[in-house]
Structure 1
């Protein structure tokens, strides 16, 4: 039973719904609680706390950090973080500056390749998401100008890894990301393990074992892009390594059928109680 959706993105990063819209949908779907887990930013969390009181919905402050483990992108969710922690916010400010600088360099490369594009246009497209500005915003400007038909095409031909306008991102190690979450009083959880590129089950389990040694406390078992079979297997891994279980929709807005993903995946209240008990 989905009572808590623990993986939701707002307009503070790359989501299409603002916090108030998220809470309205959660209320409509009768969820007991939610967590907003924006990419590398906590800017929606104070509003989320206020809205939680207004809607009578349990709000769990969260984040999703983009990290690197052996040259693979690995996302770490952090729950119950102290989003006012000065050191943690200084770390996030570094990530945001690196995103901004990276986007600016990529726009310069694209312009040098003959495309008419300015950084101001990208900033305007990002709008409220300027703290999490990234390649999708650049791609959208190019699509709007008729250079490409969709975002995958822009990545494949221009801004994907190894392509002409690609710029390497600022790297945070997965071990480092886990430590930052722990230092902010949070609970680090491995996000959607089955989506990590070029990693089979043997590799995933080996990685989880190593991350556990560095402070990992949970695994996201339930996710819209992980099958039931995946979830059963991940449950067994969580039990084997004494890790808590979480789940969420990874909602960024609507799916291709114009339905809200929010609330489609998640966990029951008893799993959230287990999660809360891990707080230091």
Structure 2
């Protein structure tokens, strides 16, 4: 049984002391691919270094995270994304992008502008997008409506929204819901919600080092723990773990352009 971790930040300093061991545990757990979303210009080189070190196992994305969008320098940050896209370097997606109004709404307009421009680039370069959405579903969905007739595709990373929001995302045929350790939390509503979501519209992720699943909640997350997400999704969807592993892996390879 093999699984794909579609969202993991193993290039962050939390893994500086034991990255080889983290990677080996992921392999032993059956993780066949790890997709790595960028955050901003400060994380670009560390991410590329890890993907180069583990070429063929770790795959980079390029994008500007919404919490890194600030009025004074977001244009410069977007210029880095544009430069990388034009460089010919192989990126599997534009991400992680989106909007985050949980901590601060000061730069909402700038976040909306950054999102639109990166969605346009996704179409230009025929790449999927990985969308970060925190307390921002309404403005993100309003923007996405303008792309309904395009071939835009991707994943709503770390989906924790309502059943209605899930159905509205799934109206876009090329979009998937990214499910991570939150699904294992005691008070999570996701197991009930996922029971009505087609299995072929779900992707597995960890968001390492964050959102560690039960039974390791409270510790640093890592890609090997995607197995606990898989087991909970299998329970919620009334499928076998093998079925979930097979379908979510096939969907991940499809959306990230590896089945073309």
TM-score by length of 1: 0.47
Give the aligned partner of residue 258 of structure 1.
219
Match of 1:173 among 90, 94, 114: 114
Q: Deviations over 1:136-158 (max 9, x none)?
A: xxxxxxxxxxxxxxxxxxx8xxx
Contact 2:154 2:175 in 1 (8 A): yes
Q: Alignment length, in residue pairs?
A: 181
- Name the residue aligned to 2:160: 226
Q: Does 1:31 align with 2:22?
A: no
Q: Does 1:245 align with 2:176?
A: yes
Q: Identify which of structures 1 and 2 has the higher relative contact order when contacts are C-alpha pairs closer than 8 Å and 6+ apart.
A: 1
Cα distance between partner residues in 2 of 1:6 and 1:253: 14
Output aligned runs, 1:160-239, within 5 Å: 172-184=113-125, 186-191=127-132, 193=133, 195-197=134-136, 199=137, 205-212=141-148, 216-220=152-156, 223=158, 226=160, 230=163, 234=166, 236-239=167-170
Q: Which residue does the alignment assign to 2:59?
A: 60
Which residue does 1:16 correspond to in 2?
14
Partner of 1:273: 253
CA-CA distance at 1:37 after TM superposition: 1.0
Q: Which residue of the partner structure matches residue 126 of structure 1? A: none
Residues 49/183 of structure 1: CA separation in 2 closer, same or farther (3 Å cut): farther
Task: Say which one has the larger Rg.
Answer: 1
Give the TM-score, by structure 2 length.
0.50
Contact 1:38 1:64 in 2 (8 A): yes
CA offsets 1:73-131 (integer angstroms, 9 cap, x no match): xxxxxxxx999644599xxxxxxxxxxxxxxxxxxxxxxxxxxxxxxxxxxxxxxxxxx
| 1:160-205 superposed Cα distances (whole Å, 9 cap, x missing partner) | 667xxxx9997652110123344455322323x3x234x45xx654
C-alpha change, 1:245 and 1:22, in structure 2 (3 Å) is farther
- Whole-angstrom CA distance in 2 between matches of 1:279 and 1:82: 26
Write the deviation string for residues 199-251 of structure 1: whole angstroms up to 9, x where unpaired: 45xx6544432344576312326x2x626x65x852x3344221232522222
8 Å CA contact retained: 1:189, 1:219: yes
Per-residue deviation, 1:38: 2.4
Maintained 8 Å contact 1:220/1:245: yes
SS of aligned partner of 1:16: helix
Q: Would you say the 8 A contact 1:190–1:219 is kept in 2?
A: yes
Q: Which runs of 5+ in 2 are unaligned?
A: 71-80, 90-102, 179-204, 231-244
Distance 1:168 1:275, change over 3 A: closer
**RMSD after superposition:** 4.5
From the superposition, tell whether residues 65 and 279 of structure 1 become closer, same or farther in structure 2 (CA, over 3 Å).
farther
- Aligned match of 2:54: 51
Instruction: Tell me, in whole angstroms, the C-alpha distance in 1 between the residues paired with 2:175 and 2:147.
Output: 14
